[in-house]
Amino acid sequence: CLRVALDGGPPPPPPKADTPRRAARTRATKETTIEVRVDLDAPYAKADAPGGPMAAWTGDAQTPTMLKASIKETPRLQTGLPLLDTVLDGFAKAANVAIVVRCVGDLHIDDHHSAEDVAISLGQCLGEALGDKAGLRRMAWAERSIDGATVRAVL
């Protein structure tokens, strides 16, 4: 193991099983309002089941007196930027972790503030959820291009 070679000793013990590896952040600036939640031990899911305060009802009138109603799932990633949602979804899926990002930003001006503040908040959550990083033995990188944008993640 590289860590044993670098540290000159045995690797540290893994974190306790009862220690939750999750974090949440809210961030409000003049340009954005963001909520980020990360749970490293929960499995990946693209959307939450219908219900709760974020559920949205949809309906189509079948006749003037009947209404067909259904409930939509709530996407976990809502940044207002489809490309950023796709990149974050790919990250969560590859890592098999639960990530929730909700962002309302000044997209009528540009997408810079939303993308930057989401990245800052997500990085802070990941750092908090990982804790002292004891027991981590992986180092990796990945690169992917989508719609002309290239993203590189190094862990």
Q: pLDDT tens-digit profile of 47-74? A: 776 655 445 545 554 444 444 445 566 7
pTM for this entry: 0.68
What does the chain look like in DSSP terms, one character per residue?
-HHHHHHSSPPPPPPPTTS--EEEEEEE-SSEEEEEEEETTSPP-SEEPS-STT-EEEEEEEETTEEEEEEE-EESEE-S-HHHHHHHHHHHHHHT-EEEEEEEE-TTT-SHHHHHHHHHHHHHHHHHHHTT-TT-----EEEEEETTEEEEEE-
* pLDDT value at residue 5: 45
Q: Which one has a higher pLDDT value, 145 or 38?
A: 38
> 1 pLDDT exceeds 50?
no
* pLDDT value at residue 68: 47
Residue that has been written with the tokens 């909520």 in this structure:
35
Residue 118 pLDDT class (50, 70, 90 cuts): very high
What average pLDDT score do residues 105-114 get? 88
Radius of gyration of the chain (CA): 20
Average pLDDT, the chain: 77
Q: Which one has a higher pLDDT value, 61 or 78?
A: 78
What average pLDDT score do residues 106-131 get? 91
